[in-house]
Amino acid sequence: MRKIIFYTVPILILSFFIFIMNSGGYYKRPRGEIDNVPKYIEAVKKDLLEEEWDGALKNAEKLELAWDKVVQRIQFSVEREEINAINAGLARLLGFIEGRDKGGALAEINEIGEHWRDLEK
């Protein structure tokens, strides 16, 4: 009996950690409207193309809030570099929108979208 426990407990613990480390794709899926990152990426991109700066700013702020919700769930299962890249991209995006720089803002939102897609790889 003791030998079974001796082998079972470490196997269960390792299995649990392997599950957590490989669950990024599942945990990044939206759970509701408030954490739907892909929706807000598309909304910001659409507003930028139409030069709706107020709408782009509001959607970028919603994107930032959605990202804050998602990052809490995925922080243990994705690379820290990707999380930092999205954080920096969001900060630059807000700066470009406030400065009404369409080209820079579009470049940033596309880069954020690319990092978002790379999270589950």
Helices (H) and strands (E) counted in the chain, each on its own, are 6, 0
For 35-51, the pLDDT digits (tens) are 899 999 999 999 999 99
- Stated as kind and residue range, the H or E segment containing 101 is none
What's residue 105's pLDDT?
96
This prediction's pTM: 0.83
For residue 53, give the CATH number of its domain. 1.20.120
What's residue 66's pLDDT?
95
- The boundaries of the domain holding residue 63 are 2-118
Q: Cα dist. 82→28, 71, 118 in Å? A: 13, 11, 8
Report CA Rg, the chain: 19
Number of domains in the chain: 1
**pLDDT band, very low/low/confident/very high, at 28 (cuts 50, 70, 90):** confident
